[in-house]
Amino acid sequence: QLQLQESGPGLVKPSETLSLTCTVSGGSISSSSYYWGWIRQPPGKGLEWIGSIYYSGSTYYNPSLKSRVTISVDTSKNQFSLKLSSVTAADTAVYYCARHAPRGDYADWGQGTLVTVSS
């Protein structure tokens, strides 16, 4: 059974870079036909798609965040990562990693990790 687990600092200072890693177990991140994505949810609010990456390295970003986001994949470690630069309090959220098929629905999710932006 596929499992995804987010890891990274729970507290980031304003203007710094948020960095998270998603470790995939129970399956290979190099499996063809799957994309690996990041989605966030501010406390008490809805879901916002951040971006996705294909195992080959092709990336797709939310235009609203594109200038600050980098998603990368490390197939040797079966991990993919998120970097979000110049964070503000508005970036405080639970960050989820997830897998989606080419059609775009997310069947597999990590448990989520809360990242708070505060000095």
Q: Which residues bind another protein (CB under 8 A)?
A: 37, 46-49, 51-52, 60-64, 96, 98, 100, 103-107, 109-112
Measured from the CB atom, the residue of 39 and 117 that comes closer to another protein is 39
What is the smallest separation between the CB atom of 93 and another protein, expressed in angstroms? 13
Give the pairing type, strands 113-117 and 11-12: parallel
Residue that has been written with the tokens 């639970």 in this structure:
94
Rounded distance between C-alpha atoms, residue 12 and residue 36, angstroms = 24
Tokens representing residue 38 in the block = 């990041």
What is the smallest separation between the CB atom of 32 and another protein, expressed in angstroms? 18
Give the pairing type, strands 106-109 and 79-84: unpaired
Measured from the CB atom, the residue of 55 and 109 that comes closer to another protein is 109
